[in-house]
Amino acid sequence: MPASQPRSRARDRNNVLNRAEFLSLNQPLKGNQESRSSGRKQSGQAGAAGAQNCGPKERRQSQQLPEEDCMQLNPSFKGIAFNSLLAIDICMSKRLGVCANRASSWGGARSMINLLGITGHGIPWIAGTLICLVKSSTLAGQEVLMNLLLALLLDIMIVAGLQKLAKRKGPYDITPGLLDYLTMDTYAFPAGHASRVAMLSKFFLNHLVLAIPLRILLVLWALCVGLSRVMIGRHHITDVLSGFVFGYLQFRLVELIWMSSNTCQMLISIW
């Protein structure tokens, strides 16, 4: 009996029907199952290890890539409209930047346009308001000047904060001047000069008694200062228009928090 068992086993191994290619597909060999399962486990472990080695940024990119591709292939109507308006704004602003540098078509008038822009800068207006406040002897004049000083300070802080949030560059690579750095007016959106002249013109029209020609000149001055910022290449058209809107809103804010004569006198006495 012990000798017959090895012979039967050898006969079974040599039998062609016992080979793997002649077995039923529904009943594969145990060795094949074990090898396949071990291969799957190894590949699964390798994939898990690769996923663990990948950083969170790579995971986010792998998850976002299909969505970004879909957005590029099928942009929404709002996205198309916004990009079209943005392209028109950049194109028109570059065409109006006729004084952006000395080689521009109106490069010779750059100094004069810069001088016009200085009339809407915050530093000269704050200095002039302080000088007038020191020399003023009437309560009404001191009240108006104190509120004007408050409006100028609010304008600088609000515009600087909005520019830091937006961080939009101008149509041309123009380096800001020293006065721009002092008032933190280093970005394009919104235009600080435009917001300031809009606020000042509305302030003077409401609180000063001016003749009609002076009122017209005041409005024209505000428009020319805003246009000059586009001509020298510092701002886009939308930057200037948004600056006018923010300037009007700042005027409304100052009207809401208007300081009375007693409050102004107390602040002046402390100063």
**241/117 Cα distance (integer angstroms):** 16
The span from the CA of 183 to the CA of 219, in Å, is 24
Report how far residue 244's alpha carbon sits from residue 187's, in angstroms, rounded to the nearest whole number: 16
Nearest to 149 by CA among 14, 2, 271, 8: 271
| 100 phi/psi in degrees, rounded to 5 | -65, -35
3 state DSSP class of 177: coil
Residues annotated as part of the active site: 193, 235
CB 97 within 8 A of CB 233: yes
Cβ neighbours of residue 200 under 8 Å, at least 6 residues apart? Answer: 120, 125, 151, 222, 247
Q: For residue 124, is the peptide bond before it cis, meaning its omega torsion is within 30 degrees of 0?
A: no
Instruction: Count the neighbouring beta carbons within 10 Å of the beta carbon of residue 210.
Output: 13
SS3 content of the chain, % helix, strand, coil (to 5): 75, 0, 25
Sign of CA dihedral 15, 21, 23, 28: positive
- Distance linking the first and last C-alpha atoms of the chain: 120
